[in-house]
């Protein structure tokens, strides 16, 4: 607080103020006013200072503070400026609103009825002669209380006697002048040595500009899903859900995930591990990976290729957070490249050559099993990779196995592999029909396979052929249903039914979003991807498989088109999470998988075959240091 000069009777007194939440910035702004600057000059310099000198730091440094800031200025010409910066973001919240509402980036500051935001201020320009009392003011900025006020007064020519009265000690009503008017310098008796010169101010400006430039680069590098557009919340009344912006960017919630993706994943090469090539190309190495891109096993190839080109890939094992083991086992088995016994033996051979797998017991290693069989493709999975991270669309396999290979707490459900012609940004194979032009209430397109739920639907369609379409599909021969024909059938109903088949998951659930029909899940044991952040009650229906019958059609028929269109609209916003697009895409299945993998990262790794000594060295059971472990090694 700079001392104010008391006015004398008969003199007109103009108060000059500059208040910020940092005392040093307030003084720098006052220096500008003393040197002849106006309110605009002082506010610009003070604002730049506030971006460089955090109030909690009060020293020149890089920006490490994301709190709100405010400044108020009155210059000798009675021009007044009051300016508040935003919160929780470098140089602004990076949110552009289409209306007058506020879109804060942090849940603690979101607007709700009756709620007091975490970051709140009450800026004020005081026109009465109570400046000395301003040091008693406090503002609640974020989690601390701080205030900094600067004030100075300038005597001017005495007023005419006709205007001199007992009210001379009061400030006159301010008359706003042009901000272009230059202020006259303060008198020498009140002039203080400036704390910084013009050179310092120019240096501060250059420092802020450089910081802004490098911050923008960092934001592009580490926040691939950030956006400058209003976001659409997929989980109403909750701030822990994924959001997709109007610009189709993906915003992942910070709770449980962190503010940004920060992963290092090592991808094993088939040339460094003996046997890995056989799991990708078969025993003779003749299977072309391109042939494995189609069908439900395509995710094994797509995820591998996306990680090879990912900026989160590292080629140094010692700095990796996670390790990806590429295998195309389902495709290799289906094309005769390996039989079940060979697959089992080859997996064990591969794992015995991985020191890092042994060090952690496989906890930091990732495997993809893309079909309904899940990890059961590797018969000894329960012995060797029961602690590893398994990526699979299948969360249950109890119809054929005694136990499920999926563990809710360590494994990740991934979306099925939808036809690229429906998920890419290019021309789609088919386009959705308007609700009013759809012929059927619901449909099921698939084979019976002797499954109870599917057989019930086929019988139901015979009783209500005008409401439920269940054609007999042929996937081979001259009457084989082509992909375009399939999607044209699928789009011709308001609801797409997805019953359980050989396993609990079904590709029809994901396909429904791209023809824009509401998916109806008829699989009680189903597990869905990204359940931590997506509320499926807003975009789909799950109906008990034991109640497949006329009551199902009655319920679906009772839903008004307005509700159906609302669910379709919300599904349209989230379906980008089912598309295996490149990392350059603002929203994709790979983004979701990377966010989920980030939750699996551990600082410390150990297994039954891992030990450590007082100096931090990791050794095996024979006290051999980790760097000297040589394959083949006993598996934990």
Establish if 28 belongs to a structural domain: yes
Establish if 412 belongs to a structural domain: yes
Does 546 score more than 90 pLDDT? yes
Q: Is the dihedral of CA 442, 446, 447, 448 positive or negative?
A: negative
Instruction: Say yes or no: 430 and 409 in one domain.
Output: no
**Structural domain span for residue 281:** 265-417+591-606
> What rounded mean pLDDT belongs to the chain?
77
Annotate 168-182 with three-state secondary structure: HHCCCCCCCCCCCCC
Nearest to 351 by CA among 311, 317, 381: 381
Encoded tokens for 331: 């495709």
Per-residue pLDDT band for 446 (boundaries 50, 70, 90) equals: confident
pTM, rounded to two decimals: 0.63
Instruction: Say yes or no: 489 and 565 in one domain.
Output: yes
Encoded tokens for 47: 């604002």
Per-residue pLDDT band for 547 (boundaries 50, 70, 90) equals: very high
Helix (H) or strand (E) segment spanning residue 594: helix 589-598
Nearest to 187 by CA among 14, 385, 416: 14
Q: What percent of the chain has pLDDT over 90?
A: 40
Encoded tokens for 619: 């050794």
CATH number of the domain that residue 520 is part of: 3.40.50.2000
pLDDT of residue 54: 52
Q: Collapse the DSSP code of 95 into the 3-class scheme (helix H, G, I; strand E, B; otherwise coil) and give the result.
A: coil
Establish if 464 belongs to a structural domain: yes
Establish if 134 belongs to a structural domain: no
Annotate 222-239 with three-state secondary structure: HCCCCCCCCEEECCCCCC
pLDDT of residue 216: 62
Instruction: Say yes or no: 406 and 326 in one domain.
Output: yes
Instruction: Say yes or no: 299 and 405 in one domain.
Output: yes
Instruction: Say yes or no: 316 and 409 in one domain.
Output: yes
Instruction: Say yes or no: 572 and 426 in one domain.
Output: yes
Instruction: Say yes or no: 438 and 560 in one domain.
Output: yes
Beta strands 250-251 and 243-245 are antiparallel
Instruction: Say yes or no: 356 and 383 in one domain.
Output: yes
Q: Is the dihedral of CA 163, 169, 172, 174 positive or negative?
A: positive
* pLDDT tens-digit map of 176-204: 333 344 444 444 344 445 555 777 778 77
Instruction: Say yes or no: 413 and 429 in one domain.
Output: no
Does 521 score more than 70 pLDDT? yes
Whole-angstrom Cα distance, residue 148 to residue 22?
A: 6
Burial (Cβ within 10 Å: 0-12, 13-18, ≥19) of residue 151:
buried
Establish if 321 belongs to a structural domain: yes
Whole-angstrom Cα distance, residue 288 to residue 294?
A: 12
* pLDDT tens-digit map of 31-79: 888 877 888 888 888 877 776 655 444 433 444 444 567 778 887 777 8
pLDDT of residue 364: 95
Alpha helices by DSSP H, 449-494:
452-463, 483-490
Instruction: Say yes or no: 553 and 602 in one domain.
Output: no
* pLDDT tens-digit map of 129-181: 444 444 444 343 444 444 444 444 444 434 343 333 334 343 333 333 333 44
Taking CA atoms, 76 is separated from 15, 48, 89, 158, in Å, by 7, 22, 34, 16
Taking CA atoms, 59 is separated from 24, 26, 46, 51, 64, in Å, by 9, 14, 14, 12, 12
Nearest to 439 by CA among 488, 482, 486: 488
Q: Collapse the DSSP code of 325 into the 3-class scheme (helix H, G, I; strand E, B; otherwise coil) and give the result.
A: coil
pLDDT of residue 355: 93
Establish if 77 belongs to a structural domain: yes
Instruction: Say yes or no: 483 and 516 in one domain.
Output: yes
Range with the largest mean pLDDT of 93-102, 175-184, 203-212, 290-299: 290-299
Establish if 625 belongs to a structural domain: no
Whole-angstrom Cα distance, residue 435 to residue 412?
A: 34
Contact 520, 566 (CB under 8 A): no
Alpha helices by DSSP H, 361-444:
381-384, 420-423
Tell me how many domains the chain contains: 3
Instruction: Say yes or no: 407 and 445 in one domain.
Output: no
Mean pLDDT, residues 84-102: 50
Whole-angstrom Cα distance, residue 130 to residue 139?
A: 17
pLDDT of residue 413: 94
Establish if 403 belongs to a structural domain: yes
């Amino acid at each position: 607080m700079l001392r104010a000069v008391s006015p004398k009777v008969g003199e007109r007194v103009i108060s000059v103020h500059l208040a910020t939440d940092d005392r040093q910035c307030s003084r720098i702004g006052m220096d500008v006013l003393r040197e002849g600057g106006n309110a605009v000059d002082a506010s610009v310099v003070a604002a730049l200072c506030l971006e460089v000198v955090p109030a909690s730091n009060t020293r020149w440094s890089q920006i490490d503070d994301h709190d709100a800031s405010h400044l108020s200025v009155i210059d000798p010409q009675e021009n007044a400026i009051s300016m508040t910066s935003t919160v929780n973001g470098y140089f602004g919240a990076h949110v552009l609103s289409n209306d007058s509402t506020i879109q804060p980036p942090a849940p603690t500051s979101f607007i709700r009825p009756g709620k007091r935001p975490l970051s709140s201020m009450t800026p004020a320009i005081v026109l009465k002669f109570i400046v000395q009392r301003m040091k008693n003011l406090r503002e609640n900025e974020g989690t601390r209380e701080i205030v900094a006020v600067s004030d100075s007064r300038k005597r001017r020519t005495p007023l005419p006697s006709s205007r001199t009265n007992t009210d001379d000690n009061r400030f006159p009503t301010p008359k706003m002048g042009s901000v272009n008017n230059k202020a006259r310098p303060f008198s020498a008796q009140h002039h203080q040595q400036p704390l910084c010169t013009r050179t310092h101010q120019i240096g501060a400006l250059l420092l802020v500009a450089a910081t802004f430039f490098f911050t923008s680069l960092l934001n592009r590098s580490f926040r691939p899903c950030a956006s400058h557009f209003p976001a659409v919340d997929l989980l109403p009344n909750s701030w822990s859900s994924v959001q997709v912006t109007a610009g189709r960017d993906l915003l992942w919630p910070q709770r449980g995930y962190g503010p940004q993706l920060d992963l290092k994943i090592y991808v094993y090469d088939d040339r460094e591990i003996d046997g890995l090539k056989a799991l990708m190309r078969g025993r003779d190495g003749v299977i072309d990976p391109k042939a494995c891109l189609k069908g439900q096993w395509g995710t094994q190839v797509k995820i591998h290729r996306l990680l090879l080109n990912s900026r989160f890939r590292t080629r140094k094992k010692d700095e990796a957070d996670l390790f990806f083991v590429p295998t195309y086992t389902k495709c290799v088995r289906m094309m005769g490249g390996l039989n079940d016994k060979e697959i089992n033996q080859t997996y064990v051979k591969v794992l015995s050559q991985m020191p890092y797998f042994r060090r952690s017991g496989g906890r930091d290693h990732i495997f993809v099993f893309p079909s309904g069989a899940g990890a059961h493709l590797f018969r000894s999975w329960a012995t060797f990779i029961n602690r590893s991270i398994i990526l699979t669309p299948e969360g249950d396999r109890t119809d054929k196995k005694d136990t499920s290979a999926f563990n809710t707490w360590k494994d990740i459900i991934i979306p099925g592999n939808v036809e690229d012609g429906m998920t890419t940004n290019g021309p789609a194979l088919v386009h959705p029909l308007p609700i009013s032009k759809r012929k059927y209430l619901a449909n099921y397109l698939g084979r019976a396979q002797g499954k109870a739920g599917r057989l019930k639907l086929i019988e139901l369609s015979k009783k209500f052929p005008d409401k439920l379409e269940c054609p007999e599909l042929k996937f081979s021969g001259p009457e084989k249903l082509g992909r375009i024909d399939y999607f044209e059938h699928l789009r011709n109903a308001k609801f797409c039914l997805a019953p359980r088949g050989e396993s609990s998951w079904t590709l029809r659930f994901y396909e429904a979003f791209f023809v824009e029909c509401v998916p109806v899940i008829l699989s009680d044991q189903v597990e869905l991807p990204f359940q931590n952040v997506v509320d499926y009650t807003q975009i789909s229906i799950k109906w008990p498989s034991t109640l497949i019958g006329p009551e199902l059609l009655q319920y679906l028929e009772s839903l008004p088109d307005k509700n159906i269109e609302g669910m379709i609209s919300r599904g349209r916003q989230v379906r980008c999470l089912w598309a295996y697009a490149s990392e350059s895409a603002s929203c994709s299945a790979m983004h979701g998988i990377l966010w989920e993998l980030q939750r699996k990262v551990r600082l410390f790794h150990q297994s039954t075959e891992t030990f450590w000594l007082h100096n931090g060295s990791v050794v095996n059971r024979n006290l051999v240091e980790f760097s000297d472990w040589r394959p083949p090694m006993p598996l934990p």
